[in-house]
Amino acid sequence: MNGDSRDFLYKYALQNAVMHNNVPKAGAVLGALMGKHPELRPHAREYSALLGEILAEIGEMNSDERRTRLEELAPELLEKKEKKKRETGLRPLENVGEEGVVMRFAPNPSGPLHLGHSRAAYLNDYYIRKYGGKYILRIEDTDPKRVTEENYQLLLSDVEWLGIEVSDIVYQSDRMDIYYSYGEKLISMGGAYLCTCDSELFRELKNSKQECPCRNRGVEENLSLWKDMLAGKFEEGQITVRVKTNISHPDPAMRDFSIFRIVANPPHPRCDGLVYPLMNFSVAVDDHLLGMTHVIRGKDHIANTRRQKYIYDYFGWEQPTYFHYGRMSIGDIVLSTSAMKAGIASGEYTGWDDIHLGTLKAIARRGFSPEAVRNAMVDIGIGQTDINFSWDNLYAANKAIVDPIANRYFFVPNPELCHISGVSDRIATPLINPNDEAKGTRTLTFTGDIFLPRDELVDGRMLRLKDLFNVRVTKSDDGFSLEYSGDSLDEARTEHAQIVQWLPKDMAMPCMLHTPDGIIAGVCEPDVSTELNRVVQFERVGFARIDSVSETNVSAYFAHK
């Protein structure tokens, strides 16, 4: 192995570490390298060993140091990455007027918002920020069966957390008279009719492309039935208003769909009428009256976009420009409101912010910043292809935000109390944040007895106690004994000593770390208790949000490595 290969590997690994803001695994670096340079495959074994050493060295640097080093050694590798970063973003919109765009985020208040909703919220927000204009939060609450007082609160608090630039809030339940008036217009124009058929009968007729007997009622009779419908002379299920489309349309879903219905129960928390518009009608009327220029919605609304075209055409309105983004699956995380609700009721989940859920409340509790969710969603973009949501991307987006600011602490999981022999008392002063040395240091006083992660104690192994010294572990019948083994970092490197976090016996506060895989009991630095609601980095463990603090213990929620 010559010096050139080492240099080459060093630069390559360093570039990787800078690019991902993380120390990569040797296997990953090697895989990528061999992919790009198949001619190096015969050297895979030697490179692998060398990479192990190099990555350990790189692991000792903080992210600023890595960047500076790469800048010195190979500035061309640094530029590549930054250039790429500047190019990311969503494609420009067409049909943007002088005043910018008018767009909307239109959730139903049927439960808390989850990651899926954040995509619509942030994609729209992206364009409002880019072009200026208006961003309307439209609360689509015309289905009394899905609306409760609690749901409004959940929705508003989630929207606030998202931090989107909302200019107006519109409640559809405040606009019932508008829908009634446009409904009446459509009936008067002969574009809609009152249908009193049994719904089963209508479905059969529709499926065989046959008109129902109500379709040819005259306008006067339709208007009189409409008045009776509004006056409460019909029961739920007895009557509906249908748009006259094309009864032999190849897609049965387009045939004379319903636009108003009666819902008697449960009562709506915000309005008293019994007649409610269905979403295709209220959405079409609102998108037009509120002046939407562009609509970004999920692919599951493609059929609705087509249905709504009938309404636009009757009124002679021009449709906005639509984008339908593909489906996004989020692993096996539960997103359905009813399933979450059932899980909370049965005690399977602790609440809407249970760490196992994909709600924004759960994401917030784990210490993800809304900005990270925004970046991850803009990264996913507006394409129609179905995708799997990548948690790793969200972790990376969040890490880019919290890494520069999060204070560092030691958290020792599954702690084992150990005595270190052969060394006198010391004071260790690890940096509060290696990215920002001005923040200073913390003070950990070593007086002989310390807590160490039990899993790191292996007979014969050398450990490098972070910011302290090396120790050698020996296992005997009485447990482990640890002996001071010098201060030299070089020696630790040569021995491939694991660097471990530790805590003085008298400076250890019980800490429960909640992770999706269970709770890890450990001890942390007492100063962690000053970080309530903030994200910290537990060195070598990962980033976590401090969720609650008492005199005697701390509870933290794990975000990511």
Residues that bind ligand GLU (CB under 6 A): 106-108, 140, 283, 297, 301
**Least distance from ligand GLU to the Cβ atom of residue 295, Å:** 6
**Least distance from ligand GLU to the Cβ atom of residue 301, Å:** 5
Question: Which residue, chain included where needed, has tokens 């240091």?
Answer: 441
Helix (H) or strand (E) holding 101: strand 101-105
**Least distance from ligand GLU to the Cβ atom of residue 228, Å:** 30
Tokens of 426: 């010391």
- The alpha carbon of 513 is separated from its chain's Cα centroid by a whole number of angstroms, namely 21
Residue 26 or 311 having the CB closest to ligand GLU = 311
- The alpha carbon of 460 is separated from its chain's Cα centroid by a whole number of angstroms, namely 44
Helix (H) or strand (E) holding 395: helix 391-402
Residue 85 or 145 having the CB closest to ligand GLU = 145
Beta strand 407-409 with 535-538 is parallel
Q: How far apart are CA 64 and CA 46, in angstroms?
A: 29
**Least distance from ligand GLU to the Cβ atom of residue 254, Å:** 17
**Least distance from ligand GLU to the Cβ atom of residue 108, Å:** 5
- The alpha carbon of 514 is separated from its chain's Cα centroid by a whole number of angstroms, namely 18
**Peptide bond before residue 266 is cis, with ω within 30 degrees of 0:** yes
End-to-end CA distance of the chain: 33
Q: Which residue is nearest to ligand GLU (CB)?
A: 297
Alpha-carbon distances, residue 493 vs 24, 59, 167, 463 (angstroms): 17, 11, 57, 10
Query: Phi/psi of residue 105, each to 5°?
Result: -115, 125
**Least distance from ligand GLU to the Cβ atom of residue 290, Å:** 12
Residue 301 or 560 having the CB closest to ligand GLU = 301
Residue 50 or 283 having the CB closest to ligand GLU = 283
Residue 107 or 358 having the CB closest to ligand GLU = 107
Residue 126 or 411 having the CB closest to ligand GLU = 126
Residue 150 or 204 having the CB closest to ligand GLU = 150
Residue 105 or 226 having the CB closest to ligand GLU = 105
**Least distance from ligand GLU to the Cβ atom of residue 106, Å:** 4
Closest CA to 147 of 270, 258, 283: 270
**Least distance from ligand GLU to the Cβ atom of residue 139, Å:** 9
Q: How far apart are CA 420 and CA 454, in angstroms?
A: 15
- The alpha carbon of 524 is separated from its chain's Cα centroid by a whole number of angstroms, namely 28
Query: Phi/psi of residue 90, each to 5°?
Result: -90, 155
Longest dimension (CA), the chain: 101
